[in-house]
Structure 1
Amino acid sequence: MLLRPALLAASISLALAFALPAQAAKAPAKAASKAAPSEPTLAHNLSEDNAARLAELISRFHAETGQTIKLVRLERGDKPATLNLISRYQMSDTLSQPKDFVPLHSMMQKAGEKLSLSLPEVLRPGVTDSRGKLVALPILYSTPVLFYNKNAMRKAGLDPETPPKTWFEMQGVLDKLQAAGYDCPYSSSWPSWVHLDNVSAVSGTPAIDSKGNLKFNALPQVKHVAMMATWTKARYFRLYGHTDEASQQFRNGQCAMLTTDSREYASFQDARGVELGVAPLPYHDDVFGGRRPSLANGPSLWVGAGKPAAEYKVAAKFVSFLLSPKIQVELVRHYGGLPLTEAARKAASSELLQDGRQMLEAAYASLQGKAEDTGIRLANIDRARLIADEELDAVWNDKKPAKAALDTAVSRGNAVLATHPLMKKSQPF
């Protein structure tokens, strides 16, 4: 049936009256979709307190730039987030999955963000490629040092301002601490990192050669591990675990001395009954060539692959935010990481409290000198590190002699690396 012209016009007008509002309602939604900000993610596995501090940092970044970053937990097996704060014990996954990450310098360049960072030489291993370009940000790098309780030193009749410089001197100090009533004169967190990676480096015999082969069964390492076995029998040394368990024992005043990462000073600020002292990692004074530098390592910031350009743009701005001198000082104060620039180091030295300045002085003194650093860390190769921890336990529990245990650790570890060659590198690119 044909409609008359007047009726047809009325019908069209009525249809438009209903159709146009619907189209108008859809238009703002489309515009809102285009305007929605890209929110990159930052994955981490920090403690509750440190995660809260990181959230505050993200809030400040938002206040200054208007950009947001979402914090998520870093879980093994998950695809990398836009930014990933990766600890040394998670580096195996990074090394074995190079396609899941992109170099930091590449992201910064594509995002149009300048990366003019002159990183100190001691902080470059593991985060720079063969051309010296930055592939990750060593945001919380540190080095092992000797923490000690000055109150315990006084109780033992020792000068609290004169900590032991060598392992030989330390034995006499531990004897007096034990006589003063300390059941735990000395302990260590991260035993493989401290007593294999770093004792090897300080002795001038790297734990791993430049080709990624484990070599920590030479005479200096055997003598050191055997010495620690005698200290265990004498109850000078007590081992509480393979990560940072010993740090809690120092924090509560149970242990008088502790070797661990310099960045842990931040968690010792409110230690009960502890007046904090810090000194460079002790060394063996009978090795050829004298004391060499210790190693730097720790949580570093890596960029996940396959993210939208808009996310990378925000992530690049956040990296620049982290590199500002003011934020660098706060990272030292709250997390204990080593400053990434000379300007930040000077600012930190002038603005930190006494304990913080002592930590920086001890850390840099420990890192000083000509290094034989391959950039490859036993502590970064999780499977080899677990084997080394197991063999160290066997020595310190009087089940194996030091030489046999270290030979076994090297043999077993190299067998693992032979089937996982990507882990024999200092960085994945």
Structure 2
Amino acid sequence: MRRRRFLGLASGVAGSVALTATGCGSGGGASRTGDVTLTMVASDHGDLEGNDLTQDYWDGVVASFEKKNPGIKVNVSVHASGKAEQKVAEMIGNGQAPDLAQIDSFADHAAAGRLYRADDVLSIPVQADFVPALSTAGELRRVRYAMPFTADIQLLFYNRGLFAEAGLDPEKPPRSWEELKQAAVALKAIGVDVPYGLPLGSEEAPTEAMTWMLGNGGGYTGDGGMYAINAPANIQAMGWLRDELVDQGLTTSNPAVTNRQGLFNLFTGGHVGMLNGDLSLTRQADRKKTDYGTAPLPGRDGLSDTTTGSAGWMLAFRREGNREAVAAFLDHVYDVENQFAFADRYHTLPVTVSASEQMRGDKRHKRMRPFLDRLGAAEFFPSNKVSWARVSREIGLYVGQSVLADGDPAAVLGTLQRTAEKEEEAAKEL
């Protein structure tokens, strides 16, 4: 099944940053030497313990930018995970949209005509430097409005110590669903609490379900970008999970109410044998000194051709007189040193080739290399759809029911497909 690749919310993106600007001048934009103040709203990407706050990073970026551009001031406010979008909406409601925002969604702002086209505010060298997998990201009706700022993907994580104890080769993680099932059976035989962690609770179900659907050649959309949630490949994937993992007692007793962070905690404590995870899990597992490995995702009949990707966005809002100042700041934000510094500090994948190459060559980031290797194969949520936010919530609430003992994947996914089609039609009227 062919699909266009789009970026979406992340299971590993923690928050957003927004810039609100007022400028002088009119028409095409203010002079870079004029007095301009930009306002930005951003997500906080600090760790779970509240250390290393993202405000510190942006304060440094702003200070170096203002030193080079004395006529432009930038005020950045950082908000906790999930709060940045609310702040942007509040500002728009008050008639004071920010100049910039680093948040997890963009389609509604693009559809409402609030955003600059990316090529209006990004220099050609910056546009050419985006990682190829992200080259068409952030588009609405084939026009790019949102610029990728962070990226992450899913890989298979497994406990090397538990593998060895179960008689499994830690150097040969499963490459297919059948091999994953057999590894889970072996892990269960030695008393591992959760042989395979399957988080299909509302928090992470859209990511986990899509990952398994992709492994069977499915996904949330099909040819032409239309919703295809109840495609035969997706129904088959959820049915396999129900019959071969859940019914066999190889997961938690009720995956429909199991969320990812709880499983991450169990994994780092040695109670989960395998699960899909993102870069945030490497950070947590390294901190707990967990003996683990990562590998490409198993697919139905061999290694999956792809993986689920997520991203955070940078948006530039149209405000009279701010375009040239916004463009100058974005050139600074996407400078290789700033891109690398953010990814290095907050454990995300760089979205530019130059920063990715710098990270690949850094011995401190050996754990990042498998993620960098698979980013080019990633498929992303259909976040170019205004309807996606609501559809994603519905998937989170209900898709887990399809893998329960009395679950009916065809019925559950059929209901979600009808909901998606209804939301898509409603979005066209906005």
- The question of a shared fold, defined as TM-score above 0.5 by the shorter chain, is answered with yes
Q: Which residue of 1 aligns with 2:288?
A: 272
Please say if 1:62 is aligned against 2:65: no
Please say if 1:204 is aligned against 2:206: no
Match of 1:137 among 143, 147, 151: 147
Please say if 1:338 is aligned against 2:349: yes
Moved more, 162-171 or 218-227: 218-227
Q: Which residue of 1 aligns with 2:112?
A: 98
Q: Could you list the runs of 5+ residues in structure 2 that have no partner in the other structure?
A: 1-32, 67-72
- Within a 5 Å distance, the mapping from 1:24-423 to structure 2 comes to 38-44=37-43, 46=45, 52-66=52-66, 67-73=73-79, 74-76=84-86, 77-78=89-90, 79=92, 80-87=97-104, 90-91=105-106, 93-94=108-109, 97-108=111-122, 115-128=126-139, 134-189=144-199, 190-196=204-210, 198-230=211-243, 231-238=245-252, 239=255, 240-241=257-258, 244-260=261-277, 262-265=278-281, 267-285=283-301, 291-306=304-319, 308-309=321-322, 312-351=323-362, 352-361=364-373, 363-364=374-375, 366-367=377-378, 381-421=388-428
Indicate if the aligned counterparts of 1:125 and 1:375 stay in contact, CA closer than 8 A: no
Indicate if the aligned counterparts of 1:192 and 1:379 stay in contact, CA closer than 8 A: no
Partners of 2:294 and 2:196 in 1: CA distance? 14
Moved more, 244-253 or 136-145: 244-253
Task: Check 1:346–1:364 CA distance in 2 against 1; reply closer, same or farther (3 A cut).
Answer: same
TM-score, normalization: structure 2? 0.74
Q: CA deviation at 1:135?
A: 2.5
Indicate if the aligned counterparts of 2:306 and 2:377 stay in contact, CA closer than 8 A: yes
3-state secondary structure, aligned to 1:296:
strand
Indicate if the aligned counterparts of 2:297 and 2:304 stay in contact, CA closer than 8 A: no
Task: Check 1:324–1:358 CA distance in 2 against 1; reply closer, same or farther (3 A cut).
Answer: same
Bigger helix fraction: 1
Moved more, 100-109 or 412-421: 100-109
Partners of 1:378 and 1:319 in 2: CA distance? 25
Letter in 2 for 1:347: Q
Moved more, 320-329 or 277-286: 320-329
Q: CA deviation at 1:169?
A: 0.9
Moved more, 146-155 or 321-330: 321-330
Q: CA deviation at 1:366?
A: 4.9
- The root-mean-square deviation of aligned C-alpha atoms, in Å, is 3.4
Q: Could you list the runs of 5+ residues in structure 1 that have no partner in the other structure?
A: 1-33, 424-429
Indicate if the aligned counterparts of 1:253 and 1:274 stay in contact, CA closer than 8 A: yes
3-state secondary structure, aligned to 2:37:
coil
Q: CA deviation at 1:127?
A: 1.8
Q: CA deviation at 1:61?
A: 1.6
Bigger strand fraction: 2
Q: CA deviation at 1:171?
A: 0.5
1:35-92 CA-partner distances (Å, limit 9, x unpaired)? 97614222325456678442222232234233543224314232253222222xx456
Q: Which residue of 1 aligns with 2:11?
A: none
Q: Across the two proteins, how many residue pairs are aligned to each other?
A: 371
Which is higher, the Rg of structure 1 or of structure 2? Answer: 1
3-state secondary structure, aligned to 1:163:
coil
Q: CA deviation at 1:259?
A: 1.1
Letter in 1 for 2:397: E
Q: CA deviation at 1:151?
A: 2.4
Q: Which residue of 1 aligns with 2:5?
A: none
TM-score, normalization: structure 1? 0.74
Q: CA deviation at 1:156?
A: 2.2
Partners of 1:381 and 1:158 in 2: CA distance? 41
